[in-house]
Structure 1
Amino acid sequence: MTEKKKLIAGNWKMNGTLEANDALVRAVVAGIKDAKCTVAVCVPAPYFAQVQMLKSGSALELGAQDVSQHTQGAYTGEVSAPMLREFGVRYAIVGHSERRQYHGETDALVAEKAKTALANGITPIVCVGETLADRESGKTEEVVKRQMAAVIHTNGHCISEIVVAYEPVWAIGTGKTATPEQAQEVHALLRKQLAAATAHAERVNILYGGSMNAGNAASLLAQPDIDGGLIGGASLKAADFLTIVAAAQ
């Protein structure tokens, strides 16, 4: 059995310019030539063509930050999975806490988006995580299990094909990070939940996505159930992003 590679996925969020992207992607491509892990960048949709061209011939994978649950039709402003496929997109983030918070995305919708991505050969990076209020009231387990259960229910035996990202909402963009022990506790919980749904739970990469940076990546990635990172701010700085990639080797 081939050893599972760790996955480091950058999430640029709503950042980028043609000029800045050019410098960033070129630096990342040059820096991952000998990488032993999978490296991806999830970029805003207008930049797919640019990044697809810049990464050409390299090991860098292209990702989207969202995908519609619909494959075509009168859905103004939406981007479909077949469209993503035309740009060589391999990953799509679904259910990021910012989408849940600002766009009202429900557990059921996130599950449908994951299903549509899978049906079109795109690996969904399914985000789950609790708010500070949830954690302080002892509801962490209840919340992440509920979010995960919806995706398992909708995707059945395909569940081993997804990537999961645990992102404690209280640690996103706040500079706060779950301790390696806190993160591992939730990752182990998710692995156990996946194991109840599929015999191939070990195949699933479970990423940590709450303010992982160049300074804390190594200690987080050393945990047994942390298989990589979904990197926000640090993915916009090539040196920081490459330090995280190096920590995942």
Structure 2
Amino acid sequence: MAPRKLIAGNWKMNLLKAEGEALVRALGGSLSGTPKPACDVLVCPPFTLLGALAPLCRETGLALGAQDCHAKSSGAFTGDVAAPMLADAGCSHVIVGHSERRSLHGEDNATVKAKAEAALAAGLVAIVCVGETEAERDSGKAEEIVVAQLLASLPQGASAKTLVVAYEPVWAIGTGRTPTVEQVADMHAALRKALGGVLSDAAGLRLLYGGSVKPGNAAELLAVANVDGALVGGASLSHGDFWAICQSCG
């Protein structure tokens, strides 16, 4: 049986406290109504909002996640945030290895793996992101490249309960472009097969698609085999758009 779908909103470096609270309250109001979407709903605000939004998320049934963590549990790392601090703030999930972290901050697979292991050690679910650039897609080796990226980024001791994998083609993030349904299906099938070689419960692990997910394409993408949800960027900042994506789960 396919895992229950997860719709995760990555707010990136957006929204101030009043805006974040208003968005969570609106989403909570929708969650309390009927019919309820056939998915779990997660929001990943900036670090500054986690403490303020944790109580609201608990009240409304939303899961709370962070957008990054450090590989160490504490220490002299000015400006960084440790995974135990995120758990202490009320988070259940943390995104690691997003392409913006990989490209803008020079994070390699070993760094992403270390961060994911720190997340698991703190009791968090790690959302490990992988994806190819446009040049890598055009090379005809996208699946080979992304599978290798995934296997090198996987934390030791991961399971379907502690790990989520998000496939985000770099060339589709924030561009309005999306891969074809066939390309998404092929990549997710390749990732599931690769995970099956290293995890005994790979069939139950959530594989999310991300990259310009919006209300107009969500239902089609979420119906693809091995797509167990979505990691949503820009559309997650709008209650109407994000909720429409959640409702696309059925």
Please give the TM-score of this superposition, normalised by the length of structure 2. Answer: 0.95
Structure 1 residue 158 corresponds to structure 2 residue 158:
yes
Structure 1 Cα separation of the partners of residues 58 and 125 of structure 2: 20
Q: CA deviation at 1:224?
A: 1.3
Structure 2 Cα separation of the partners of residues 95 and 82 of structure 1: 18
Q: From 86, 90, 93, give the equivalent of 1:91.
A: 93
Structure 1 Cα separation of the partners of residues 38 and 59 of structure 2: 17
| More displaced stretch, 122-131 vs 22-31 | 22-31
Structure 1 Cα separation of the partners of residues 238 and 183 of structure 2: 27
2:20 aligned residue: 21
Q: Alpha-carbon deviations, 1:107-130, whole Å to 9, x = none?
A: 010011111101111001100000
| 3-state SS in 1 of match to 2:158 | helix
| 3-state SS in 2 of match to 1:55 | helix
Q: Alpha-carbon deviations, 1:89-138, whole Å to 9, x = none?
A: 01100000000000000001001111110111100110000000000111
2:7 aligned residue: 8
Structure 1 Cα separation of the partners of residues 52 and 185 of structure 2: 36
Q: CA deviation at 1:88?
A: 1.3
Structure 2: which 5+ runs fail to align? none
Structure 1 Cα separation of the partners of residues 159 and 175 of structure 2: 31
2:173 aligned residue: 172
| 3-state SS in 1 of match to 2:94 | strand
Q: Alpha-carbon deviations, 1:21-65, whole Å to 9, x = none?
A: 122111111112233311000110000012112223221000000
Q: From 25, 43, 46, give the equivalent of 2:45.
A: 43
Cα RMSD of the aligned pairs, angstroms, is 1.3
Q: CA deviation at 1:17?
A: 1.2
1:54 aligned residue: 56
2:74 aligned residue: 72
Q: CA deviation at 1:196?
A: 0.7
Q: Please say if residues 25 and 60 of structure 2, whose CA atoms lie closer than 8 Å, have aligned partners that are also in contact.
A: no
Q: CA deviation at 1:248?
A: 1.3
Structure 2 Cα separation of the partners of residues 4 and 130 of structure 1: 25
Q: From 128, 134, 137, give the equivalent of 2:136.
A: 134
Q: CA deviation at 1:87?
A: 1.4
Structure 2 Cα separation of the partners of residues 193 and 111 of structure 1: 16
Q: CA deviation at 1:69?
A: 0.4
Q: How many residues align?
A: 246
| 3-state SS in 1 of match to 2:92 | strand
Of all paired residues, the percent bearing the same amino acid is 49
2:191 aligned residue: 190
2:225 aligned residue: 224
Q: Which amino acid aligns with 1:58?
A: T
Structure 1: which 5+ runs fail to align? none
| More displaced stretch, 84-93 vs 16-25 | 16-25
Structure 2 Cα separation of the partners of residues 15 and 57 of structure 1: 23
